[in-house]
Structure 1
Amino acid sequence: MFTTVLASTHLGNFIIATAAFLVLFLLIRLFAWKNITGIFDQRAQKIAHELDQTEKALQSAEIFANQRETELKGVKAEADKIIEGATLVGADNKKAIIKAAHQEAAEIKERARLDADKAREDAIESVQKDVAQMAVDLAEKILKEELTPERKVALIDQYLDRLGDK
């Protein structure tokens, strides 16, 4: 008997709890279900919206990064061109400077050679005149006669001709 009462108490409690749950579920379904699902729907929409905005921001950031990378490559290429141009200009300037220096050195060398040749010719001419004058003076002393200027010139020319043959 006690088991039947206990079994019926359990069954009664189960039925009451089930009925209370169903009534509570029905009341929630009638009055609060739309609000609860609305809150969940709003939350889901908010999360979806934030995900969309995050994705757009990420795409925008990728586009911006690609643009910056492209600009950086362009600037690097331009810098490389400038450096290459400066290197070529520097090499050309170096060649021009070296060429000018060689030309100037050749000109200085030629002028020095011409100056040396002229100095040598002047020295030879001066020595020839001095030697010729000495020869005339010596001949004058030997002959003990005074030579006329025409005779002096003739002797000098004759002596110079002999010196040139040697």
Structure 2
Amino acid sequence: MQSLAGMLVLGAGGGEGLLVGDMLFQLVMFIVLLVLLRIFAWTPLMNVMKEREDHIANEIDTAEKNRQDAERMSQEAQEELKKTRQEAHQIIEEARKTAKEQEQEILNSARAEGDRIKESAREEIEAEKDKAIQALQDHVATLSVQIASKVIEKELSEQDQEQLINEYIKELGEER
């Protein structure tokens, strides 16, 4: 009896030639082995590879979508920041303009008030001046009447007249 290992080897016989039956058996067993491998190993392995490929493709698509979303959000944030800066600049400019307008209004108001006070002071000074002139005229008239009455009362010499005038001037100076 030949050993099993001997049968498996082609041409390993005692010179008997090729054993076609053995070869066919081995070919059938190889095909069965291939079918079993395909059913139990290749197909599940290919399914796992396909799932892995789909998963990786899905992850790449998700990452690309996230990148695009991030870029879009970044661009929106940039635009919003730019818009906010423009609004802030505009608010500052409006505040400056308003401040200048208020400054001008305050200056104009102060000038008008100063002019009004000056005019009021001029009018008051003019009124006081007119009153002083009137009072002086009244006083001069009174003094003139007094001098005339004294002159009439007595005839004066030139020296007496000078003395009288000096006395009245002195009195006039003391009254002020």
Q: Which of residues 108, 133, 140 is equivalent to 2:145? A: 140
| 1:33 is aligned to 2:28 | no
Residue 133 of structure 2: aligned partner: 128
4+ runs of 1 displaced by more than 2 Å?
Answer: 12-19, 22-28, 30-35
Query: Aligned in 2, Cα 1:127/1:32: closer, same or farther, shift over 3 Å?
Result: same
Q: CA RMSD in A?
A: 2.4
Residue 149 of structure 1: aligned partner: none
Q: Taking every aligned residue pair, what percent have the same amino acid on both sides?
A: 8
Query: Aligned in 2, Cα 1:130/1:18: closer, same or farther, shift over 3 Å?
Result: farther
Query: Aligned in 2, Cα 1:81/1:45: closer, same or farther, shift over 3 Å?
Result: same
Query: Aligned in 2, Cα 1:126/1:34: closer, same or farther, shift over 3 Å?
Result: same
Instruction: Return the structure number with greater helix share.
Output: 1
Residue 74 of structure 1: aligned partner: 79
Unaligned runs of 5+ in 1: 1-11, 146-166
Distance 2:41 2:119 in 1: 115
Distance 1:18 1:85 in 2: 96
Q: Which of residues 52, 57, 69 is equivalent to 2:62? A: 57
Distance 2:136 2:68 in 1: 100
- Describe the superposition over 1:134-154 as per-residue Cα deviations: whole angstroms up to 9, x where unpaired: 011111112229xxxxxxxxx
Residue 45 of structure 1: aligned partner: 50
Q: Which is bigger in relative contact order (C-alpha 8 A, separation at least 6)? A: 1
- Describe the superposition over 1:99-139 as per-residue Cα deviations: whole angstroms up to 9, x where unpaired: 11111111111011101111111111000000000011111
Residue 150 of structure 1: aligned partner: none
Scaled by the length of structure 1, what TM-score is found? 0.71
Distance 2:54 2:65 in 1: 16
Scaled by the length of structure 2, what TM-score is found? 0.67
Residue 153 of structure 1: aligned partner: none
Q: How far does residue 27 in structure 1 lie from its aligned partner after superposition?
A: 3.8
Name the amino acid aligned to 2:42. T
> What aligned pairs does 1:90-129 form with structure 2 within 5 A after superposition?
90-129=95-134
Larger Rg: 2
